[in-house]
Structure 1
Amino acid sequence: MTHTVEFLRRLYPGDDQDRAGWGVRIDGTDLRALVAEATRAGWSQEWDGSKEPPDGREAYLMTQHAPLVMADDAHARRHFLGDPDPERREPETGAMALLGCICGTDECWPMMATVTLTQDLVTWSGFHQPYRPEWGILAMGPYVFPRPAYDRALADPVRFPGRGLLSVSGDHGTDDHTSEDAGGASGETS
């Protein structure tokens, strides 16, 4: 079974002209929502008998990761075509980050996966959190995308106006620099 992929792009807060957050939707669902569900059991074991996250478990699950922060569009394309920066790849497994940390430093809390590219298909599999090896491979994927559709989605990402963060809720107005930039395009969610 093949899946559909959309890449989401929004200029990142700050003065860098080309720096952007790159998110992903698979079959219309934000990758962060898929990861939230897949990591629920691991987090639940850690939370049993310990302090709850400040905003509650569900809020934490949905906001544990952020879109990757890329220097420019060419950098993002190289990354998602299997040529990530060394700090976004595990040398021992070859897995690469598909999501980063909410702090803006992707390697701080990445979501890793093996990305396999052929002439016809792109496959994302073996999702795991490198800082929680006890969780093992997460129960998500593999996601198989037709290569031509993947390449088109990467070349023409869904672009959100203004500068800010791509949130799971679809409220793309967070951290905007001007009020006229607030909000994403009508009907667009990440």
Structure 2
Amino acid sequence: MNRIEFFHYPWAENPSSLLWGIRVDGRDLRAYAAEATRELWRPELEGQFEDDEAELAETVRNQHDGLGVPDFADRPAHFLTAADSAPLLGCPCGHWGCWPLMASIATTPTTVTWSSFRQPHRKQWGELRIGPFTFDRTAFEAALAAPSVLAEDPWGPAPGR
């Protein structure tokens, strides 16, 4: 079984607003997304920047942020509800639909599984090499019910900020 942790952290663009953060097995979900999309971004960004590798690294690292707590405050079970396609991460601009990380969510009485991760605005990328992750449902629900509140984004500031 995988381990899940939910937390809230301040949004860089408006620190009084909180975002949902997610760690799977101690690793930020944004790190999984960055790793899975790095080479997929390369052809799109090649030749667009003076320092291609630095710009690629920055784009990949900063492509996602958490989902806004106010947007999902009345329905944190969003992360638990069975769905063919549900956003788990959003865009740093604050509009989660702009650049979401989507996944399928399947539940049983004892497990929650996230699988089939994808970027809907890049259908040609297909299913991303993330997961699947299967969590003990009791531990998942406990983590979801009591997210820690952090003073800053644990992913750290975006380079150049």
TM-score in terms of structure 1 length: 0.72
Q: Which residue of 1 aligns with 2:133?
A: 143
Unmatched tracts of structure 1, length 5 or more: 84-92, 176-190
Q: Which residue of 1 aligns with 2:18?
A: 20
SS in 1 for 2:150: strand
Using the TM superposition, give the Cα deviation of residue 94 of structure 1 relative to its aligned residue in structure 2, in angstroms. 2.8
Which aligned runs of 4 or more in structure 1 are off by greater than 4 angstroms?
none
Q: Which residue of 2 aligns with 1:152?
A: 142
Alignment check: 8 A CA contact 1:100 1:111 kept: yes
Q: Which residue of 2 aligns with 1:182?
A: none
> Structure 2 vs 1, CA of residues 76 and 6 (structure 1 numbering), >3 Å: closer, same or farther?
farther
> Structure 2 vs 1, CA of residues 72 and 109 (structure 1 numbering), >3 Å: closer, same or farther?
closer
> Structure 2 vs 1, CA of residues 10 and 78 (structure 1 numbering), >3 Å: closer, same or farther?
same
Percent sequence identity is 38
Unmatched tracts of structure 2, length 5 or more: none
Measure the CA separation in 2 of the matches of 1:132 and 1:72: 24
Using the TM superposition, give the Cα deviation of residue 21 of structure 1 relative to its aligned residue in structure 2, in angstroms. 0.4
| Higher strand proportion (structure 1 or 2) | 2
Is 1:122 aligned with 2:124?
no
Q: Which residue of 1 aligns with 2:59?
A: 60
Measure the CA separation in 2 of the matches of 1:28 and 1:154: 15
Q: CA RMSD in A?
A: 2.6
TM-score in terms of structure 2 length: 0.85
Counterpart AA for 1:4? R
Q: Which residue of 2 aligns with 1:95?
A: 85
Q: Which residue of 2 aligns with 1:188?
A: none
Number of equivalent positions: 155
